[in-house]
Amino acid sequence: MKYDLSGRLVIGLASSALFDLTECDAVFREQGEDAYRAYQEAHLEVVLDKGVAFAFVRRLLALNDLVDPTDPLVEVIILSRNDPDTGLRVMRSIAAHGLRISRAVFQQGRSPHRFMPALNMSLFLSANDSDVREAVADGMPAGHVLKTERVDDDADQELRIAFDFDGVLAGDSSERVFQDAGLDGFRAHEVRNTATAHDPGPLKEFLAGINRIQGREEEARRKDPAYRPRLRVSLVTARDAPAHERAVRSLKEWGLRVNDAFFLGGVDKAAVMRALDPHIFFDDQVSHLNGTAPATPSVHVPFGVVNASPRAPE
């Protein structure tokens, strides 16, 4: 019987997002592909250390305990530039860490993001900026996982996800107005269009999948009042009043929701992130992420007008 991915939240994940591949990558860059192959073969039994997205992925997969394990809510599939031989270490490390990830696509030297639609994926994460930009240019929802000083994965099961709005959940049309007309022009435009929902952005369907799981958690809480929902979603945006209303109305018209909203109006997002402490934060602007990434697992979504240049985040 075929395995149907429709109706599930499916995430594509490069091994560079899940594990710390700093040492492996150094071998490849400094000594070439043959040395890299030999290195991976010699270290086949050495378990790779946790990477930036590890805590996010582990907690997301843990939500499958809400349903029959043969019919999971969440699927994570490895999308890798490795060939099958060098990918063996990745799959063995996944098993050693106890992650329920059994599916993978290995394409030697190629970014396999073109298989995302076939696999019903609503997100692809990688530490390779070029692969992410290529995926976004092809209309795929993708994010570049940035280096961080914090790779936290304690026993707590709560999963906190934070999203910027423009260029992430919504399209970039209002950002274009801001670029052309400045803050006052942007605010006037948003007030005039308060009742008009934004066009969806690259991660809108990912949030829809997260909301479906939150619905399952609500069902569990109704059956068992002692059940404590583990999934919490926050909107963290530079918008403030009066531009905040169109964002709220857009989410409602899309049939989506968030638990918390921070309309910061230029307040430093990094300080808010340190207090909010999400396991992952998605933003389209490098200037914000350079501040958040040291202490918060952060993902650059290189979408829209603010990413028209080839500049990558540090």
**Per-residue pLDDT tens for 31-89?**
888 888 888 889 989 999 999 999 999 999 999 999 998 999 999 999 998 888 888 99
Which CA distances in Å does 301 have to 66, 161, 167, 244? 30, 15, 8, 21
Q: Which of 145, 170, 190 is the last residue of a domain?
A: 145
Pair 163, 303 in one domain: yes
The identity of residue 76, as a single letter, is V
R_g (Cα) of the chain, nearest Å:
20
- The CB density around residue 20, as the number of other CB atoms within 10 Å, is 17
Q: Which of 145, 176, 192 is the last residue of a domain?
A: 145
What's 303's domain CATH number?
A: 3.40.50.1000
Pair 177, 119 in one domain: no
Q: By the 8 A CB rule, do 126 and 132 touch?
A: yes
Q: By the 8 A CB rule, do 299 and 169 touch?
A: no
Q: Which of 114, 145, 176 is the last residue of a domain?
A: 145
109-135 pLDDT per residue, tens:
788 899 999 999 999 999 999 999 999
Pair 165, 300 in one domain: yes
Would 1 be classed as within a structural domain? no
- The CB density around residue 271, as the number of other CB atoms within 10 Å, is 13
The identity of residue 267, as a single letter, is V
Pair 200, 251 in one domain: yes
Pair 245, 282 in one domain: yes
175-196 pLDDT per residue, tens:
889 888 888 899 999 899 999 9
- The CB density around residue 222, as the number of other CB atoms within 10 Å, is 9
CB neighbour burial string for 150-161, b if at least 16 within 10 angstroms, e if fewer: eeeeeeeeebbb
Pair 185, 140 in one domain: no
Would 215 be classed as within a structural domain? yes
pLDDT (mean) for 4-10: 94
Pair 34, 109 in one domain: yes
Q: How many domains does the chain have?
A: 2
The domain of 168 spans 159-307
Would 4 be classed as within a structural domain? no
pLDDT band at 309 (very low <50, low <70, confident <90, very high): low
